């Protein structure tokens, strides 16, 4: 269960407040889309959930932990074990192969991830014959598939995807969203996708509308 309680976020050099008293509940295994125009605060909310930034006021609970009060060590553990984050710009490490990029989260936590688990993940995202290539040899859609597999490697209960199709063409975007949805159904993880694309939003039942840092409709 993810709960936001009157969360506000104001950036130091910003006049306006990015997030204005947002309260929100997302149950386990939910598939929610955070829909709003650019600059409305979608990324900020996902960053708050991942513990990458702290709220100015209010509380964020994830699985009964108040994540706004975590130490660096605890927040890191949350990002590594509980949350899988997918960025719009993929953010792969350029000199590591597809397989090594996917393995990274398990390497960070020294978890005993079996090679067959990696194999099946690579197969699930359809990159078996690309696994020893460097990211530079991949198309945009393939790069995002690597990022998706990487987000899943430690079996997190929550997947956060920030505009995962923002850098992809329409057709590729559709397959990526389909992939995310089918993986969510298979692994039963909570999936939250932030997007400004109403087409994409159609795929999810739970839609959260956001504008100027406020939830307009949940």
Ligand X SMILES: Nc1ncnc2c1ncn2[C@@H]1O[C@H](COP(=O)(O)OP(=O)(O)O)[C@@H](O)[C@H]1O
CB of 46 to ligand X, least distance (A): 8
Choosing from 4, 30, 41, 80, the residue that interacts with another protein (CB under 8 A) is 80
- Binding of another protein by 49 (CB under 8 A): no
For 6, 96, 194, the CA distances from 35, given in Å and listed in that order, are: 19, 33, 6
Instruction: Return residues touching Mg ion (CB under 5 A).
Output: 43
Q: Are strands 31-35 and 57-62 parallel, antiparallel or unpaired?
A: unpaired
Query: Torsions phi, psi of 194, nearest 5?
Result: -95, 130
Residues engaged in binding ligand X (CB under 6 A): 11, 13-14, 18, 36, 38-44
The CB-nearest residue to Mg ion is 43
User: Which residue has the CB atom at the shortest distance from ligand X?
Assistant: 43
Helix segments in the chain, DSSP class H: 42-49, 72-81, 98-108, 115-124, 140-152, 170-187, 198-201
Does 69 engage in binding with another protein (CB under 8 A)?
no
**Position among 52, 118, 134, 203 found at the interface with another protein (CB under 8 A):** 52
Minimum Å gap between C-beta 174 and another protein is 26
Which spans of this chain sit near another protein (rule: CB under 8 A)? 47, 50, 52-53, 72-73, 76-81, 85, 87, 89, 91-96, 100, 103-105, 107-110, 150
């Amino acid at each position: 269960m993810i709960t936001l309680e009157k969360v506000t976020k104001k950036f130091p050099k910003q006049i306006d407040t990015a997030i204005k008293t947002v309260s929100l509940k997302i149950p386990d295994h939910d598939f929610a889309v955070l829909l709003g125009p650019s600059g409305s605060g979608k990324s900020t909310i996902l960053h708050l959930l991942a513990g990458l930034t702290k709220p100015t006021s209010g509380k964020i609970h994830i699985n009964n932990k108040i994540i706004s009060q975590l130490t660096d060590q605890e927040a890191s553990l949350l990002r590594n074990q509980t949350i899988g984050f997918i960025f719009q710009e993929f953010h792969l490490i350029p000199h590591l192969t597809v397989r090594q990029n996917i393995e990274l989260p398990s390497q960070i936590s020294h978890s005993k991830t079996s090679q067959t688990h990696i194999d099946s993940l690579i197969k699930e995202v359809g990159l078996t014959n690309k696994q020893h290539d460097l990211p530079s040899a991949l198309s945009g859609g393939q790069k995002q598939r690597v990022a998706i597999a990487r987000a899943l490697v430690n079996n997190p209960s929550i997947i956060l995807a920030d505009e995962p199709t923002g850098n992809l063409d329409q057709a590729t975007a559709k397959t990526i969203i389909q992939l995310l949805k089918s993986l969510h159904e298979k692994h039963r993880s909570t999936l939250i996708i932030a997007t400004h694309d109403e087409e994409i939003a159609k795929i999810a039942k739970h839609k959260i509308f956001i504008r100027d840092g406020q939830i307009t409709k949940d």
